[in-house]
Amino acid sequence: MQAWLRLLFYFLITLCSSVGTAQESRGFEDLNRDLRKLHKPEDKVDLILNFLDRPENHYMEDSVGIILSKRAYDIALQAGYTHGKVKAMLKSGNYYFRSSDFKNAMEQAQEAMIIAEDLDYSSELALALGLIGSIFSELGDYDNSSQYFFRGLKLYENLEDKDGIAGALGDIGMDFYNQQDNNKALEYFNNALVLAKEINSLHEIKRQYNNIAVVYGDLEKYDTAILFLRKALDINIKLGDKLGQGTNIMNIGYSQMNTGKYEEALISFQQSLDLFTGLNNRIHMAECYLNFGFCYYTDNKIDESIPYFKKALHEGRNNNYYRIIAPAANMLNQIYTSKSDTLNAYKFVMLENMANDSLFAIQKQKLLSKIELQYNYEKKEFERKKEQQRKNAFILIIILVLAAGLVILGLILSKHRLRSKLVLLEKEKIESELDIKNRELTVNLISLIKKNEMLSDVSRKLVQLEKSAKGEEAKEAITLISQEMRSGTEDKMLNEFSLRFQEVHAGFYEKLLKAFPDLTQNELKMCAFLRLNMSTKDISEITGQQLSTIDQARYRLRKKLGIANSETNLVSFLSQI
């Protein structure tokens, strides 16, 4: 159960809402009325963007935000108002990002970055870099995300923009948290908090309180987490942010539950449920139901937990909230299994597997989106550089025409330069194709291993059903199904992986065994993972092993490869084989 709790709670980093209110409608009417009074296109663009920046509009529905941003963009484009166009693109990109449309978000951010770089719009460039970093971070590409966050941080420091610096520090801290480096995460969050307090930026102060609470909750220091959550709650009350209040109170209840204060936790969950119900926020309502269920369950009030798990499951199925369906069905399966209610237990096992299948498909799509985004981003960067080269070549031709005496020498130099560039571009193209194949191999490997893990999990649950089944024929049928599902799983996985790996890295195993013949099959598999430049965290997620186990395996591998006492990078060493 603890695993589900860690996955489901502490939604403190980003908050969004799809709540429409009468006050919001009046705001649109006021905006349209004010726009009709203006004549200069630049003023209309600025008015729309300022409207989107208002605190009361921060939780505007994403589709509405996109429409208004595009409206500002179209006006700016027709008027030739470049600064306004860049700002509108960044707004649109942020709304696309909030709605998980990372492809359109990246296109908007990248285009804004290019224009901002060309025209030296430093503030807008920093915002674009932050948005690109956030997209990569959301896709789990922390190497790329950290590069963009640090570039944005440097710009904010040059501008002496403390609010921007605080935001960038918080983004970097979240990257460290996502990579399980809690000490570094706290260091950046606290630095961001100090700056935010200096300028009294309530929004940024609240954000860092929430971030710090996330870390302490992960460290199971729940009393400290509650302290920071209450500080964030005070700010949300001051700002009139009911969604933020509900989320803070819900997570306070979660921490209370984990410290055994069940009655206090139930009160907190009820307060948060009332807030979310008033906002008609279905996903957070479902989370509250799940919280109630876990609270009663951990307090050993099993029967009281069942209706809430069922409510959460009902809400999840009605709205396709798979991360709600999976834990709710999992808990109901456990409960009915303990009651020897095989029929109900089986029903909830099937629901849990369905939700897990959907979550896995979403994760796979996320990985594919990551590869596609990186490819498209690199392609667009290449085209931009190529266009810049064309401009440079045109300027060079003009200079050569004016400098008639150096025409011959200039042509020779240009020909040599272009030939070198073409060779370099061809080399980069080949390397890019190999990189794409490597990524495809990684995605296929993850898909295969997750599939086999899922089959093993189903097999394990069939064994549990066998124990509670009545009748020898039923038991024999369940045993036969379980044995068939387990048989040959690992061999198939290794054969499939070996076949696909050798398609991309032909001769790697042969060269490796020739140089180090005493390597075991597991060590060869570890070498293949590292040859694919997979991190310790990635290998851990794929194999199901602890990070410490992976680190020990890497150390033993270094000893066998004879590089244990050197500073040679293991991945670089294997990439040269």
What is the percent of the chain where pLDDT is above 90?
50
SS3 track for 361-384: HHHHHHHHHHHHHHHHHHHHHHHH
Specify the pLDDT at position 255.
93
Dist CA 94 CA 106 (whole Å): 9
Specify the pLDDT at position 13.
36
Q: What is residue 405's DSSP assignment? A: G
Question: Residue 21: enclosing H or E segment and its boundaries?
Answer: none
Confidence of residue 405 (pLDDT cuts 50, 70, 90): confident
Q: Strand, helix or coil at 509? A: helix
Specify the pLDDT at position 336.
93
Is pLDDT at 86 greater than 50 in this prediction?
A: yes
CB half-sphere exposure, 515, CA atoms < 13 A: 13
Please compute the mean of the pLDDT values over residues 405-430 and round it to a whole number.
75
- pTM summary value: 0.60
User: pLDDT tens digits, residue range 445-457?
Assistant: 666 666 656 766 7
Specify the pLDDT at position 60.
77
Superfamily of domain 21-160: Tetratricopeptide repeat domain (1.25.40.10)
CB 353 within 8 A of CB 421: no
Please compute the mean of the pLDDT values over residues 68-93 and round it to a whole number.
95
Residue indicated by tokens 């005493």: 518
Specify the pLDDT at position 264.
96
Confidence of residue 484 (pLDDT cuts 50, 70, 90): low
Is pLDDT at 481 greater than 80 in this prediction?
A: no
Average pLDDT score over the chain: 84
Is pLDDT at 486 greater than 70 in this prediction?
A: no
Q: Which residue has the higher pLDDT, 41 or 399?
A: 41
Specify the pLDDT at position 51.
92
Tokens representing 414 are: 């240009």
Please compute the mean of the pLDDT values over residues 341-357 and round it to a whole number.
91
CA distances for 166 relative to 156, 192, 375, angstroms? 9, 4, 31
Q: Which residue has the higher pLDDT, 214 or 490?
A: 214
Please compute the mean of the pLDDT values over residues 353-369 and round it to a whole number.
82
Is pLDDT at 466 greater than 80 in this prediction?
A: no
Is pLDDT at 25 greater than 80 in this prediction?
A: no
Confidence of residue 10 (pLDDT cuts 50, 70, 90): very low
CA distances for 333 relative to 191, 265, 341, 355, 455, angstroms? 45, 24, 9, 14, 17
Confidence of residue 145 (pLDDT cuts 50, 70, 90): very high
Where in the chain is CATH 1.10.10? 512-577
Specify the pLDDT at position 493.
60
Please compute the mean of the pLDDT values over residues 102-124 and round it to a whole number.
93
Q: Which residue has the higher pLDDT, 10 or 119?
A: 119
Please compute the mean of the pLDDT values over residues 466-487 and round it to a whole number.
67
CB 6 within 8 A of CB 251: no
Where in the chain is CATH 1.25.40.10? 21-160
Please compute the mean of the pLDDT values over residues 27-34 and round it to a whole number.
82
Tokens representing 545 are: 């092993």
User: pLDDT tens digits, residue range 234-249?
Assistant: 999 998 889 899 999 9
Q: What is the CA radius of gyration of the chain?
A: 28
User: pLDDT tens digits, residue range 267-316?
Assistant: 999 999 999 999 888 989 999 999 999 999 999 999 999 999 999 999 99
Please compute the mean of the pLDDT values over residues 323-346 and round it to a whole number.
93
* Of the listed ranges 61-70, 155-164, 301-310, 475-484, the one predicted with least confidence: 475-484
CATH architecture of 512-577: Orthogonal Bundle (1.10)
User: pLDDT tens digits, residue range 513-549?
Assistant: 999 999 998 898 889 888 888 888 878 877 768 889 9
Dist CA 330 CA 348 (whole Å): 7
CB 247 within 8 A of CB 256: no
Specify the pLDDT at position 371.
78
SS3 content of the chain, % helix, strand, coil (to 5): 85, 0, 15
Specify the pLDDT at position 204.
94
Provide CB contacts within 8 A for 410, sequence distance 6+: 396, 399, 400, 403
Residue type, 173: G
Dist CA 283 CA 415 (whole Å): 62
